[in-house]
């Protein structure tokens, strides 16, 4: 079997987890040939469970120039994703990037352009797209049999984190270290699924509360109101402080309603299109009949390893990706739009003013506790 | 048994329904002694099912001056509630007012002041407060054992109405005839329950869409973001166009979560207060244990007749009311705030600028299709 020689850059929680799984042969199409981390201690820890045949590097550029890899998984802090991806494309290497694509769309746009020019395979680690529940929702909404979307409500408040989580690294939950809070760290998957299933909103008005529940400088509580190009509206509600949290995605369409909650997808299917029924009915309080059913959504939920396998197959055989790298900008655009709307206390049109976002982010980086600590 | 002699003003859907039930002796404490409606046809229809011993009047003032009643149920169009209530107080009559209290808080404030001065019994027909599910939520939140509220999400989109409903009267869904749409017609109960259970928000940013789903001039789709004095946030989402709609009220508190949906109240009770746990836990991803249970909420759900009985008992024996008349201004304040926020595209502080609301409402009344029809 021809395999893809992959290197992992960044051996934090995600990178080291991927390394452990790949070295066990979890993805037959992939051979883990090199790893890098700028932290010598972390690299040392990794030597304990990786064989000597794997190349170990401190600088990511040395890994890229080693000739050991044809493709990279980038699992570094968010800010570095675009820069490292561009360096990889320049060297003719395929890239699978951890979420988020970056911290601000301006830098991600450049990454996307360089990916396009390179003709190389570029994928995003949107592993929740492999969840059968969300795949089924995507299929049902895009299939068209339920008509146009009218409303989307996602209460996704089950990202609980204690103060100890935030205290585990000085870079955590700082504008300088991560560039945001729950939106940039926990929610990229949800924001990607939202746009993947429902398309991109055209307007966002968000209310982000920074350090509301934790001793941090970034947002840990967000309520966002969304408007879509067809006039549909929605809310996206998230926090890292609700216990127990909720994960309930409800999509109302012309032909009924989809509700995904408690790992169950329920379809409420109308016998008639509401938009037609509304104007044809002679009765003020009448409703067409509704058929309620649990949608079977079994099957492969391969998560990260499924994304890595699809990435390898795309390189080796040209098979389609689960999540194109270029699509990473969409969830980031949503996250940036929510920040910007909250900072300016105004409704933001999408695509956002990327220059303004970058300026506003920089103001916060200058005031960041991490920046101040680094300057002292 | 001493009974309360009650007159009903306005014999539309609600007024005639109350009359039919009262005449059957549904509320033993009450004797229906008179009715009035300015529409002679409607009055004639009512004669068919009411005995001749009941007094029939065209003008509400004539009913009030007849000496047949000691108390009134006001079930006229919304705009007339405050004026008629004040007339009743001036004559020493007790008042039970249908929801909403009025159309704008300025007029309702005057009604409340006159009620206070009169010392008479003044009640609001907030019959959903008799629902055991909401009574239980009120009890649990106010009991304090769940700690402070952190978040309130009410998706209340099961108020479906067809175009035929709106076409059934030229006054329907007009600024001149009703003074609003889903907020003033369908949602006063929900807005009252929201403030009754959770208290009044201090800020509102709402997005009301007028004539979005129906051929009407008032709002039929609303998403409102709420902030409470303690910092808690929430959303209130409603429409008359979703099918099937949702009625899901979720309240997250320091000690857990209450979810009311599908006529079931579920309590998710934490073993520890989240606000304490968050800062004491040494683990970043840990959570205290949760006990999930369905809250028994059986018992009396007497709705309108329960409210009327409690009103009669308050007059006859001084028993406490289920809903004080003066409390009607709160749900109306919320409804007015949502309109005003949407009209001005700004966050509105509560209490609202009542003069501004009245001016903005009048602009819409001047442009109303009903006003124009009346002038032609």
CB contact under 8 A, A233 and B223: yes
pLDDT exceeds 90 at position A374: no
Alpha-carbon dihedral sign for residues A320, A132, A123, A188: positive
Residues of B in contact with A246 (CB under 8 A): 250, 257, 259
CB contact under 8 A, A213 and B278: yes
Q: Convert the pLDDT of each residue in A74-117 to its tens digit.
A: 999 999 999 999 999 999 999 999 999 999 999 999 999 999 99
Q: Domain B4-128+302-320 adopts which CATH fold?
A: Rossmann fold (3.40.50)
* pLDDT at site A165: 97
Residue B136, token pair as written in the block: 């239980």
Closest residue to A164, CB basis, from B165, B221, B283: B283
> Can you tell me the distance from the alpha carbon of A325 to that of A336, in angstroms, rounded to the nearest whole number?
18
Residues of A in contact with B165 (CB under 8 A): 284-285
Q: Convert the pLDDT of each residue in A199-219 to its tens digit.
A: 999 999 999 999 999 999 999
Report helix, strand or coil for A357: helix
> Can you tell me the distance from the alpha carbon of B338 to that of B343, in angstroms, rounded to the nearest whole number?
9
Closest Cα in chain B to A213: B275
Residues of B in contact with A277 (CB under 8 A): 162, 243
CB contact under 8 A, B284 and A164: yes
Residues of A in contact with B213 (CB under 8 A): 278
Residue B18, token pair as written in the block: 């109350």
Within a 13 Å sphere around the CA of B291, how many CA atoms are in the beta-carbon half?
8
Residue B176, token pair as written in the block: 């001149």
Residue B298: CB atoms within 10 A of its CB come to 8
Distance separating the N- and C-terminal Cα atoms of chain B = 54
pLDDT exceeds 80 at position A375: no
Q: Convert the pLDDT of each residue in B97-107 to its tens digit.
A: 999 999 999 99
Q: Which of A162, A262, A346 should be substituted to probe chain B, the one whose Cβ sees the most B Cβ atoms within 10 Å? A: A162
CB contact under 8 A, A278 and B207: no
> Can you tell me the distance from the alpha carbon of B233 to that of B324, in angstroms, rounded to the nearest whole number?
26
> Can you tell me the distance from the alpha carbon of B313 to that of B29, in angstroms, rounded to the nearest whole number?
7
Residues of A in contact with B270 (CB under 8 A): 243-244
Residue A77: CB atoms within 10 A of its CB come to 15
CB contact under 8 A, B164 and A233: no
Closest residue to B164, CB basis, from A214, A242, A282: A282
CB contact under 8 A, A250 and B207: no
Closest Cα in chain B to A212: B231
> Can you tell me the distance from the alpha carbon of A268 to that of A260, in angstroms, rounded to the nearest whole number?
11
Report helix, strand or coil for A65: helix
* pLDDT at site B241: 98
Strand-pairing partners, residue A205, are A225
Average pLDDT over residues A341-361: 97
pLDDT exceeds 90 at position A26: yes
Q: Which of B214, B215, B243 should be substituted to probe chain A, the one whose Cβ sees the most A Cβ atoms within 10 Å? A: B243
Measured N-to-C along each axis, helices A354-367 and A328-344 cross at an angle, to the nearest 10 degrees, of 70
Residues of A in contact with B233 (CB under 8 A): 207, 209, 221, 223
Residue B306: CB atoms within 10 A of its CB come to 17
The answer to whether A30 and A309 have CB atoms below 8 angstroms apart is yes
* pLDDT at site A376: 60
Q: How many CB pairs under 8 A join A and B?
A: 147
* pLDDT at site A118: 98
The answer to whether A112 and A325 have CB atoms below 8 angstroms apart is yes
Report helix, strand or coil for A222: strand
**What value does the mean pLDDT of chain A take?**
97
Domain chopping of chain A, boundaries: 4-128+302-320, 129-300+331-370
* pLDDT at site B376: 60
Residues of B in contact with A235 (CB under 8 A): 223, 235, 237
DSSP string, A303-320: HHHHHHHHHHHHHHH-PP
Q: Of A260, A287, A316, give the one whose Cα is nearest residue A139.
A: A260
pLDDT exceeds 90 at position A373: no
Which CATH number applies to A129-300+331-370: 1.10.287.3510, 3.30.360.10, 1.10.10.10, 3.40.920.10?
Answer: 3.30.360.10
Average pLDDT over residues A352-357: 97
The answer to whether A206 and A223 have CB atoms below 8 angstroms apart is yes
pLDDT band with cut points at 50, 70 and 90 for residue A370: confident
Look at phi and psi of residue A144 and say left if phi exceeds 0, alpha if psi is from -120 to 50, else beta: left
pLDDT exceeds 90 at position A371: no
Q: Of B210, B256, B228, B255, give the one whose Cα is nearest residue B364.
A: B210
Q: Convert the pLDDT of each residue in A219-233 to its tens digit.
A: 999 999 999 999 999
Closest residue to A281, CB basis, from B162, B209, B277: B162
Q: Of B49, B45, B40, B85, give the one whose Cα is nearest residue B64.
A: B85
For chain B, which residues score pLDDT lower than 50? none
- Which residues make Cβ contacts (< 8 Å) with residue A180, sequence separation at least 6? A103, A218, A219, A335, A339
């Amino acid at each position: 079997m021809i395999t893809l020689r992959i290197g992992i850059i960044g051996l934090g929680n995600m990178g080291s987890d991927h390394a452990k799984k790949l070295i066990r042969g979890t993805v037959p199409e992939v051979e883990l040939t090199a790893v890098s981390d700028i932290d010598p201690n972390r690299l040392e820890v990794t030597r304990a469970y990786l064989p000597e045949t794997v190349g170990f590097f401190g600088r990511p550029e040395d890994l890229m120039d080693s000739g050991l890899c044809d493709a990279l998984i980038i699992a570094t802090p968010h800010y570095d994703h675009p820069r490292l991806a561009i360096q990889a494309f320049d060297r003719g290497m395929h890239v699978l990037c951890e979420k988020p694509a970056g911290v601000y769309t301006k830098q991600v746009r450049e990454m996307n352009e360089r990916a396009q020019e390179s003709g190389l395979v570029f994928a995003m680690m949107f592993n929740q797209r492999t969840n059968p529940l969300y795949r089924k929702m995507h299929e049902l909404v895009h299939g068209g049999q339920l008509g146009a979307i009218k409303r989307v409500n996602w209460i996704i408040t089950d990202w609980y984190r204690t103060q100890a989580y935030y205290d585990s690294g000085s870079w955590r939950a700082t504008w300088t270290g991560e560039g945001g809070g729950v939106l940039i760290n926990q929610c990229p998957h949800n924001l990607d699924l939202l746009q993947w299933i429902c398309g991109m909103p055209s307007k966002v008005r968000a209310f982000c509360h920074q350090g509301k529940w934790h001793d941090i400088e970034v947002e840990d509580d967000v309520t966002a109101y969304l408007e879509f190009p067809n006039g549909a509206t929605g809310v996206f509600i998230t926090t890292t402080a609700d216990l127990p949290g909720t994960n309930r995605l409800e999509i109302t369409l012309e032909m009924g309603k989809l509700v995904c909650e408690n790992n169950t997808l329920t379809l409420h299917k109308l016998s008639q299109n509401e938009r037609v029924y509304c104007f044809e009915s002679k009765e003020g309080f009448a409703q067409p009949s509704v058929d309620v059913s649990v949608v079977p959504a079994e099957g492969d939920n391969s998560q990260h390893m499924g994304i890595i396998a699809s990435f390898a197959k795309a390189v080796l055989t040209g098979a389609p990706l689960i999540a194109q790298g270029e699509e990473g900008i969409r969830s980031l655009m949503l996250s940036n739009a929510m920040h910007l709307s909250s900072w300016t206390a105004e409704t933001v049109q999408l695509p956002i003013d990327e220059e303004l976002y970058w300026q506003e982010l920089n103001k916060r980086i200058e005031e960041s506790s991490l920046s101040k600590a680094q300057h002292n």
